[in-house]
Amino acid sequence: MSGPLLPPADLPLADQKVRPWVYALVKYGTTFLARFSGIRLYGRENIPRSGRLILAGNHSNTLDPFLASLGTSRIVHYMAKKELFQNKLYAWLMTEGGTFAVDRQSKADIGAIRRALEVLGGEGVLGIFPQGTRGGAEVLDGVSYLALKGKAPIVPMCILKDGSWKIAYGAPIAPEGKVKELTERVMSAVKALEQELRLK
């Protein structure tokens, strides 16, 4: 009698509880219609193929988490507002696909912070939108705090809908300096990517 099915030995610890088929179903299923408008990716080579990493960028559309993930074959773990987990089907899909809940009303959701650091500690990829909500005017420092605490480089990225979908990834930013300063560097890089995309 065979034993339990074990994950591949080379799979990052952060991804070993994720069902790859669920992740792929959500990732490609949600972006299927977007492909009819065209999706152009730039700078994919800036995303490391292994090691802990934070993917951080602008947030203006519901599809952003799924579109941002198209630049890499790696599993990207996201935080999602806890209200989405009230639907049992959504909760199952998100949990099995590597997404975890965060209480946006809390100034410091300890559980979500701990889970994010576990992803980074397990050499996984964490996706974060510093604006917090779609089109948010305020930029939060969570991405920088987690990068410094988890010793994870940040890959800035920008998503722009200009006829077709354009997604750009910038060079990794080292987790150095103070929280506010790092946040400014990340958002400056995101803004620079947006300007480049508008010229393409």
pLDDT score of 132: 62
pLDDT digit string (tens) for 70-119?
999 999 999 888 888 999 998 999 999 999 988 877 767 899 999 999 99
pLDDT score of 10: 67
Contact between residue 150 and residue 77 where contact means Cβ atoms under 8 Å apart: no
Contact between residue 148 and residue 106 where contact means Cβ atoms under 8 Å apart: no
Query: How is the chain split into domains, by residue range?
Result: 19-39+49-160
Lowest-confidence region among 80-89, 176-185, 186-195: 80-89
Tell me if residue 31 falls in helix, strand or coil: coil
pLDDT digit string (tens) for 110-142?
999 999 999 999 999 999 988 765 544 456 788
Helices (H), the chain: 20-30, 64-68, 88-96, 110-121, 142-150, 179-198
Edge-to-edge order in the sheet of strand 125-128: 39-42, 164-169, 154-162, 53-57, 125-128, 76-81, 100-102
* Percent residues over pLDDT 70 in the chain: 90
pLDDT score of 109: 81
pLDDT digit string (tens) for 29-78?
999 989 998 999 999 999 999 999 999 999 888 899 999 999 999 999 99
Which residues neighbour 83 within 8 Å (Cβ) at sequence distance 6 or greater?
none
Choose between 31 and 3: higher pLDDT: 31
| Topology of domain 19-39+49-160, CATH | Cobalt-precorrin-4 Transmethylase; domain 1 (3.40.1010)
Element spanning 54, H or E: strand 53-57
